[in-house]
Amino acid sequence: MSGVGIAFGNSSAFVSVCRDGRSEIVANSAGDRSTATVVAHQEGELLTGTPAVQMTVRQPANTVSSLKSLLACKLESADSASQACKLEQHGEEIIVNFNNATRKGVSALVKCVFENLKETADSALGEDKHDTVISIPLTSSPEFRKTVKNCAISAGLNVLDLIPESVAALLSLDSAAKPADGHTAVVRVGGSSMAVTVVKVVAGMYSVVDNTEEKIGGNLFDRSVGKFLCDDFNRKNRCKVEENPRSYSKVLKASKSAKHNLSTLNTAECSIESLFDGMDLISNLSRPRFETLIQNDLNKIKETVQKMVTKHSSISITRVVLTGGTCKVPKVQSIISQLFPESSIVSQAPDEIISLGAATHAGMLSKFPNLSAKSEVEGNGTVGIPLTPSNIEVRVGDVVTQAVAKNTPLPYKTDIELPEGNVIVIEADGKCIAKAEVAGSDDKSKVSLHFEILEDCSIEAIIKDSFTNERTAVHIPPPKGA
């Protein structure tokens, strides 16, 4: 069974798979690496992803977006103004009323999104059962965690763990080796929100020093560009295109596309056929003009990060990790880099790194079916990466073979070929912790050992005589205080 990581965002979701210890993003049926977390209702059927996005223009009252936010809040705090469909509170859940009188709870719609994501994983792996880890905000409530997990399970996913987004990003970077001690800032700017998390790393332990979240994201850029396009169109055609919901939806869609294109290109063409009363919109947008239009939005991002920097000015932040799709915008990267002039900036694939880290975590957990998930943030804000407390060696006669080095991230498994002999001694820092003899063997037998250390530092070993195929199982309980 392969490991699957899902980054469930408010605007889009990503699916990664971990195979042979390596995580990679997989594309959905439309060939896109991201899937819009939008659901539409059409003729009794729920649509997700690209078909649902197309419906936001054709039938906006039959679509709903920002499902992650709706799942986590009450109606009075929901941004209902951004929804063309009608929302109402029913008990603990928000109910969506589509214009054809169909009513669906937000959790049922989130389930549809997870079903879509599962199909993407199924297609990539050629199987339909997956050990899955899902990323969620650091400050998620127990109720939100439970609801997300139930939605994913009902969609057919085997959910092993829910992991904080900032931790997932760090695991994607640090999975190959023990992370270096120091402080890291994880800056996430997504489609509708941003978070800045300061993490202290000591001996493989991630300790959350501070975290702040704001409702600032790429949707502000879309609206700023949309206002420019509407003003330009209105001036040329003497109308108010923004007062037509369908036309304005087309403008926002074009604005979002231009934003993505300007992350890698110097110019982007905004072209919309029959935008208003049969009139077309054609406009070219340069990157400098784009950056001017979003300057106020950039200032909001800068202020949020600056407050965290000022608050912890005594801390030396050695690394800054950028996550979230909006961090692909060059000007956003530039602003954050200027705020951390002495830090190493990690900005590769910021929109995908969280999903990749979740898949890495899933791949690790899937190797240990009896291992309980432990990525939840504890009351003191600590997220631990368990490490082996000592060097573990295997002695056969006078020959000592290292099995696991001290401070190796757990869980860990390995296979070791041992020299000839039938008496096996397992030692921790030179002290015997277990001794076994291969049954029915002699002192000339070739022996191999399958070695696993779980997160609680308990050891499971299987000693095999390669000649007789005899096996001896050894269980070593965790040391006191581990």
Q: CB under 8 Å to 92, separation ≥6 — which residues?
A: 143
State mean pLDDT over 363-367. 78
Q: 161: closest CA among 423, 374, 418, 464?
A: 374
Residue of 8 and 472 predicted with greater confidence: 8
Say whether both 26 and 49 belong to one domain: yes
Sheet of 423-428, strand order: 399-404, 392-396, 423-428, 431-437
Say whether both 62 and 101 belong to one domain: yes
pLDDT band at residue 480, thresholds of 50, 70 and 90?
low
Q: 71: closest CA among 48, 93, 103, 90?
A: 93
Residue of 101 and 52 predicted with greater confidence: 52
Q: How far is CA 397 from CA 418, 421, 422, in A?
A: 10, 7, 9
Say whether both 37 and 133 belong to one domain: yes
What local confidence, expressed as pLDDT, does residue 366 receive?
A: 77
Say whether both 379 and 454 belong to one domain: no
134 in a structural domain:
yes
- 191 and 326 in contact (C-beta within 8 Å)? yes
Say whether both 359 and 466 belong to one domain: no
What local confidence, expressed as pLDDT, does residue 169 receive?
A: 93
State mean pLDDT over 284-304. 97
pLDDT tens profile 221-238: 999 999 999 999 999 999
What local confidence, expressed as pLDDT, does residue 37 receive?
A: 94
Q: Is 49 helix (H, G, I), strand (E, B) or coil?
A: coil
Task: Please compute Rg for the chain using Cα positions.
Answer: 26
- 327 and 348 in contact (C-beta within 8 Å)? no
Residue given tokens 């936010």 in the structure block:
69
What local confidence, expressed as pLDDT, does residue 84 receive?
A: 80
233 in a structural domain:
no
39 in a structural domain:
yes
Q: Which of 79-93, 335-349, 427-441 has the lowest mean pLDDT?
A: 427-441
Q: CB under 8 Å to 20, separation ≥6 — which residues?
A: none
Say whether both 359 and 468 belong to one domain: no
Say whether both 52 and 128 belong to one domain: yes
57 in a structural domain:
yes
State mean pLDDT over 310-337. 96
pLDDT band at residue 424, thresholds of 50, 70 and 90?
confident
Say whether both 125 and 11 belong to one domain: yes
Q: How many domains does the chain have?
A: 2
Residue 368 has pLDDT above 70, yes or no: no
Say whether both 408 and 364 belong to one domain: no
Q: Quick one: tokens of 398? A: 């006078």
Residue 94 has pLDDT above 50, yes or no: yes
- 100 and 119 in contact (C-beta within 8 Å)? no
Say whether both 43 and 18 belong to one domain: yes
Say which CATH number the domain at 77 has.
Answer: 3.30.420.40
Q: CB under 8 Å to 342, separation ≥6 — which residues?
A: 316, 317
Q: What angle do CA 90, 92, 98 make, to 5 degrees?
A: 40
Residue ending a domain, among 364, 383, 402, is 383
Q: Which of 62-76, 91-105, 290-304, 365-379 has the lowest mean pLDDT?
A: 365-379
Residue 194's identity, in one-letter code, is: M
Say which CATH number the domain at 469 has.
Answer: 2.60.34.10
Say whether both 30 and 110 belong to one domain: yes
Half-sphere exposure of 67 (CA within 13 A, CB side): 29
What local confidence, expressed as pLDDT, does residue 442 receive?
A: 56
Q: Which of 64-68, 159-163, 177-181, 346-350 has the lowest mean pLDDT?
A: 177-181
Domain containing 465: what range? Answer: 392-476
- 404 and 459 in contact (C-beta within 8 Å)? no
State mean pLDDT over 49-65. 89
Residue of 33 and 84 predicted with greater confidence: 33
Q: Which of 57-61, 144-148, 370-374, 478-482 has the lowest mean pLDDT?
A: 370-374
Q: Which of 6-20, 112-126, 406-420 has the lowest mean pLDDT?
A: 406-420
Residue 88 has pLDDT above 90, yes or no: no
367 in a structural domain:
yes
pLDDT tens profile 369-381: 554 444 444 444 4
Say whether both 453 and 358 belong to one domain: no
188 in a structural domain:
no
105 in a structural domain:
yes
